[in-house]
Structure 1
Amino acid sequence: MGSEVHHRTATVNGLEVFYREAGDPQAPAVVLLHGFPTSSHMFRHLIPALADRYHVIAPDHIGFGQSAMPTLQDFPYTFDALTEVTAGLLQHLGVDRFAMYVQDYGAPIGWRLALQDSDRITAIITQNGNAYEEGFVKPFWDGVFAYTQNPNPDTEAPMRGALTPEITRWQYVNGVADPSLVSPDNWVHDQALLDRPGNDEIQLKLFRDYPTNVDLYPQVHQYFRDSRVPLLAVWGANDEIFGPGGATAFGRDLPDAEIHLIESGHFALESHLHTITEHIRDFLGRVLA
């Protein structure tokens, strides 16, 4: 297959799942799991940078990117449901064991995959993919948890604000020393997909489901302690959604975790692609050897 990036779809549980794929299918697999409000588009540069050595797969979650966007009546839009589709895609592709790169929403999906079968996970790269309450930055999460605890028009308003072009752009440029390194194509692309009719209700539903991720944290921490899975944290230190405390906390349950704080924000790949790629290639080259 080479380093060329292929853009494919597969049918999983009756839903069309879009994914990007590159590299030799016989090589060690690396699964890239994106966050909100983006898609596998966030990995467009990382995929070819890894595909000479690894079989790289980056799906779009249901309701995001180019994957299907069924209505709330036709799909539950919980993190459990998103995980089920991701697991189904990997089964369809015959990927039994894999390293995973998790960011934002990709983290709780990745943690669920690990809890389902810890032996399948060969290594973890977390880039602002949270697993500890220390990672939640105020005031961002105050608004989220106020909404999840008591959904009403007053608590919903800030959450709808998170779906606006201003906040989508903010997620990309906040904390980045040189915003000119970040292509505006990112937030234009993401916003166009957020603005699709009905997508706002999908995102609000996932916001309401977010506490289920926090509830899993004790199990996730036990998984870390039991498995001693190799973990690399390459974390945008200036992220005002998941702060650097979320990165350093991994060392509590995984003393051998390799933690690198990068002078960037939530989408650190956009400003520090080469730095992050070098860390990943060095890390995977050692732990998957």
Structure 2
Amino acid sequence: MPRRGRHPASEPRSPSMSVSTARARSTVTHHRTTQVDGVELFYREAGPANAPVVVLLHGFPTSSHMYRNLIPALADRYHVIAPDYPGFGLSAMPDRKEFSYSFAKFADLMDGLLSQLGATRYALYVMDYGAPVGFRLALKHPERVTALIAQNGNAYEEGLQTFWDPLRAYWADGSATHREALRPNLGLEATKFQYLHGVKDTSRIDPANWVHDQALLDRPGNAELQLDLFYDYRTNVALYPRFQAFFREYQPPTLIVWGVNDPFFPVEGAKAYQRDLPNAELHLFDTGHFALEDKGDELIPLMRDFLERKLPATSR
């Protein structure tokens, strides 16, 4: 249900409250739910209500849980919002017979959530599925996007290589045979692989990541909606020219941070952004798909430096 009462981030600071205490309070993450178009959405929120907004859009098969460490690292300076899509994390999982699991629908719901929260301008951190969701938001409201941070999230054909061949086969005919061929991508070994492949020191990766994600994937009915989304991903590829046109026309300040050992979104996809965003700042890391899990100690300072240089003083 919608939030009630005073927003904690907007509470007045008492004269006796120290700066350090106020900062500590601003970095507390609040866990909330609200209704958007009849769908209950879960989101994490932190930071001063009047600060520039940073929206964190998650990938597959995770949720806003993937940003649990990043949120407090940004919330001393920014109003951070990290939602879960329907069927992911702690958001509702409507019956797929009554709800369209599509990237277009996800973008509509994220747009509704941000409007409800009064976020009229925002920087977007997009990762994996977060890229097509975020770039669809940008097409809806290009004037609202203050900056982009792309982390292993694609917008170019160069980023779709061998891994995508079985998905392309499914996109071509939508057959049950090709759908079933993708089902192993929803199992524990595949989820664990996403976190560990390409990581040199796997002790840096918390095993709770894949345990958490897999428990949610294993909910009755979740596999089918995920397979629906695999099929719908073709609509994102069809929009790549429009995403690229947005980059060229609006030239949002852009930071690209990329795990180069990612088997799903190879480094060619990262470099392609610079074709349309020649001023984009590109940083490559010797790690895999979930680069933030492994290299957060290096990525977060880069993000903070980028945002401090590029974001306006206010964004609401």
Q: Give the TM-score normalised by structure 2.
A: 0.90
Other-structure match for 1:249: 272
Question: How many residues are matched?
Answer: 288
Q: Does residue 191 in structure 1 map to residue 218 in structure 2?
A: no
How many Å separate the matches in 1 of 2:161 and 2:199? 17
Give unmatched runs, 5+ long, in structure 1.
none
How many Å separate the matches in 2 of 1:212 and 1:147? 13
Q: Does residue 270 in structure 1 map to residue 293 in structure 2?
A: yes
Other-structure match for 2:52: 28
1:232-258 Cα distance to aligned partner (Å, 9 max, x none) = 000011000000011110100010000
Other-structure match for 2:156: 132
Report matched runs for 1:54-73 at 5 Å. 54-73=78-97
How many Å separate the matches in 1 of 2:67 and 2:264? 20
Other-structure match for 2:232: 209
- Alignment partner of 2:182: what SS? helix
1:248-269 Cα distance to aligned partner (Å, 9 max, x none) = 1010001000011111111001
Q: Give the TM-score normalised by structure 1.
A: 0.98
1:199 maps to a residue whose letter is: N
What percentage of residue pairs aligned between the two structures are identical?
56
- Displacement of 1:287 in angstroms is 0.6
2:170 maps to a residue whose letter is: Y
Report matched runs for 1:138-157 at 5 Å. 138=162, 140-157=163-180
- Over 4 Å off, 4+ runs: none
Q: Does residue 233 in structure 1 map to residue 256 in structure 2?
A: yes
2:179 maps to a residue whose letter is: E
How many Å separate the matches in 1 of 2:44 and 2:295? 21
Q: Does residue 221 in structure 1 map to residue 221 in structure 2?
A: no
How many Å separate the matches in 2 of 1:51 and 1:153? 45
Other-structure match for 1:282: 305
1:58 maps to a residue whose letter is: A
- Alignment partner of 1:216: what SS? helix
How many Å separate the matches in 1 of 2:231 and 2:36? 25
- Alignment partner of 1:11: what SS? strand
2:70 maps to a residue whose letter is: L
How many Å separate the matches in 2 of 1:147 and 1:278? 40
- Alignment partner of 2:31: what SS? strand
Q: RMSD of the TM alignment (CA)?
A: 0.8
Other-structure match for 2:71: 47
How many Å separate the matches in 2 of 1:178 and 1:42? 19
1:117 maps to a residue whose letter is: H
- Alignment partner of 1:215: what SS? helix
- Displacement of 1:73 in angstroms is 1.4
Q: Does residue 167 in structure 1 map to residue 190 in structure 2?
A: yes
